[in-house]
Amino acid sequence: MQIAQNSVVAFHYTLKNDSGEVLDSSEGRDPLTYMHGSGNIIPGLEKELEGKATGDKLQVAVTPEEGYGEIQEGLVQEVPRDAFQGVEDVQPGMQFQAQTQGGPLMVTVTQVEGDTVTVDGNHPLAGQNLNFDVEIAEVREASEEEVEHGHVHGEGGVEH
């Protein structure tokens, strides 16, 4: 079976940046499983998996536009340290959920200077080219329930 709209796809992957540094991998874990055509993975990778089948191996290069987007400078802000009430030692790399007009947004602390904390709401991989080594482990038709819900369900049924 080839990967198409509403296929359930399980694949192993290794993700590297342009320098060849491994950013993420399914090695030693279960394959990543998603429903094709439901926007559950980044668009550039999903597009390249279309038409592939179990056992296929491929290399996929995804640009920021087809990945996590370009860096949006408006998502980088300086906030007062007292906005982090209850956190004694705010350090770069810490992540927090901020409430914005558009809803909740994960932000990462990038700098702490005196009473000012710089946070970045961009995805950590925004602005980067993403290089995937992929091996398709399984392709199957989605169940009616999975199609209705827009995502894959676990072995024991619905897990929400």
109: domain CATH number?
2.40.10.330
pLDDT in tens, 26-64: 999 999 999 999 999 999 999 999 999 999 999 999 999
What is the pTM (predicted TM-score) of this model?
0.82
Q: Are 85 and 98 a contacting pair, CB within 8 Å?
A: no
Torsion of CA 15, 16, 21, 22, to 10 degrees: 10
- The total number of residues shown for the chain amounts to 160
> How many whole angstroms separate alpha carbon 26 and alpha carbon 150?
23
Q: How far is CA 157 from CA 19, 86, 125, 151, 153, in A?
A: 41, 39, 32, 12, 6
Residues 58 and 25 reside in one and the same domain: yes
- Identify whether residues 59 and 132 lie together within a single domain: yes
The identity of residue 100, as a single letter, is T
Residue 133 near residue 17 (C-beta atoms within 8 A) = no
62/134 same-domain check: yes
Q: How many domains are contained in the chain?
A: 2
Query: Do residues 17 and 60 share a domain?
Result: yes
CATH of the domain at 59: 3.10.50.40
The single-letter code of the amino acid at 108 is T
Return mean pLDDT, the chain: 93
The Cβ-side half-sphere exposure at 26, using a 13 Å CA radius, reads 14
- Which residue range(s) make up the domain with 15? 7-68+125-149
Give the pLDDT of residue 142: 93
Give the amino acid at 132: F
Residue 1 belongs to some domain of the structure:
no
Listed as ranges, residues in the chain with pLDDT below 50 are: 156-158
Percent of the chain with pLDDT strictly greater than 90: 88
Question: Cβ of 88: how many Cβ atoms within 10 Å?
Answer: 5
Q: Quick check: is 103 in a domain?
A: yes
